[in-house]
Amino acid sequence: MNMMQRALYQLFQTPGSRISFKEARYANFQSVCAFSNSAISNGSSPTYHGTTILCVRKNGKVCMMGDGQVSLGNMVVKPNARKIRRIHPKTVGGKTQKGSEGDDENSSGGTIVGFAGSTADAFTLLERLEGKLDEYPGQLARSCVELAKGWRTDKYLRRLEASLLVADENVSLEITGNGDVLESHDKVLAVGSGSPFAIAAARALQDVPELSAEEVARKSMEIASDMCVYTNKNFLFEVMDIKEEDGKEGPSDEEKN
């Protein structure tokens, strides 16, 4: 009889106790099994996670930037992943362009998408979003709402652990893991583990007139990477011309000069 069994025996064999020693041993065995099963279920194979994505709209441009780190538990498995995509509706005849370096030739058209969270889940949602954009071309908000509705009601999609940022020339939206579609009030959005740091820095830099959207995003991501261990400094980004609220499309010639 070990010390634990002896203590249980003394506890349950006191006067007035209705629990026998055998029942106590059985109860102890059940609690150990329950703890072991819990540990096994919670210790399932870790998933690949990608973090931090930031979107900034400023001075006739929208810039979406993300780091390149992909983590598997506590281990970095890839430092240069591409978490930003540009989607062109197939119904318009567009083709996916690789504009990760922010080239001028790719600065207009399509929809920019960035993801954070489980990588496999994010690609599943990207595929669904692309289908919605083909179904509702030029209607980003409606496409996101339809995706969110499926996310909430579909038994398979409901278990996906990822968040998306999407932006076009008219609006920037966040699609959360709860199926919510959010639009920023200050033209700044961020998702991922480093999003609180990135969005705080971007909001502070928004008021600096000489900084472009890309410069605000880069400086903010640098701050986030210094504070979040799951975010590195291998930044990839997409830049697009946007329509201003007053109806002007992109910056004027005087602003460019």
Active site (catalytic) residues: 51
* Cα 112 to Cα 50: distance, rounded to the nearest angstrom: 17
**49 beta partners:** 71, 118
Q: What does residue 152 show for φ and ψ, rounded to 5 degrees?
A: -80, -30
Contact 50, 116 (CB under 8 A): yes
Using the CB atoms, write b or e for 2-17: b if 16+ within 10 Å.
eeeeeebeeebeeeee
DSSP SS3 for 252: coil
